[in-house]
Amino acid sequence: MVAQPVNRMADQFRAGLERPVEMVKEHPLPSMLLMFGVGIGVGVLLSQAVCNTLMEVVEEPTMTEKMKRQVFDALSHVMSPSMYKQFQQYAQQYTS
């Protein structure tokens, strides 16, 4: 019962591989939509690969890290070196 539709689809697939130009002429819209989908899929995969590569190269600090750096810079000018060192140890203990 199931073997007939499967065999029929396999025969159609084989025929499509043997004569691609005729298949596209017979079914232009499905062929175009298939190629559009393949193009979108390849584009997404390539963009993910490129973005992941760029993210590894350029790692920007988050807003929190930027603010933390600014606070540390400001405090380093106001506090004594020993107090600043203690403050850094305290901050690392509670932010890690």
Indicate the pTM of the whole model: 0.42
Domain residue spans of the chain: 3-57, 63-95
Residue 57 confidence class, pLDDT cut points 50, 70, 90? low
Q: In the Cβ-directed half-sphere of 42, how many Cα atoms lie within 13 Å?
A: 6
Q: What are the structure tokens assigned to 39, written together? A: 């193009």
Residue 39 confidence class, pLDDT cut points 50, 70, 90? very high
**DSSP structure string for 11-35:** HHHHHHHH-HHHHHHH-HHHHHHHH
